[in-house]
Amino acid sequence: MLNVSPKEAKRDKRLHSSGNLKAFRYQNEEFPLIPQTVFYDFIYITAIKTSFTIDEINAILGYNYFTDIEFNPAKSINTQARSAAILKLIVDEYGYLPFFNKEDFIQYHKEHISY
């Protein structure tokens, strides 16, 4: 696998010559394009669950509102604020942060997240 910076990845000519995006691939699993933010939300929440301490997660859960001052809806649909709000929703519903496999997370996302 070739490692490139995010800036280099955005400039890769294959983005304009290889056709439409069909899916995302993460850890040998394909994620659908619909629901639109499910892949980003999954990797963001998984990263928090696997790399944050309980105190760091609780710090996020201490908030009721989230914002992302860098988010530009004209350029992107994904935002860390939305993923953090989903994280809080999950914990508020379950009482803890469960491990979701891909299929379970996609189903949860379809049932609980509006577009």
Query: For residue range 69-113, what is the model confidence (pLDDT) as tens digits?
Result: 999 989 889 999 999 999 999 999 999 999 999 999 999 999 999
Q: What's the whole-model pTM score?
A: 0.84
Q: Is the peptide bond before 73 cis (omega within 30 degrees of 0)?
A: no
Checking if the pLDDT of 115 tops 80, the result is no
Start-to-end CA span in the chain (Å): 34
**What digits encode the pLDDT tens for the residues 17-69?**
888 889 999 999 999 999 999 999 999 999 999 999 999 999 999 999 999 99
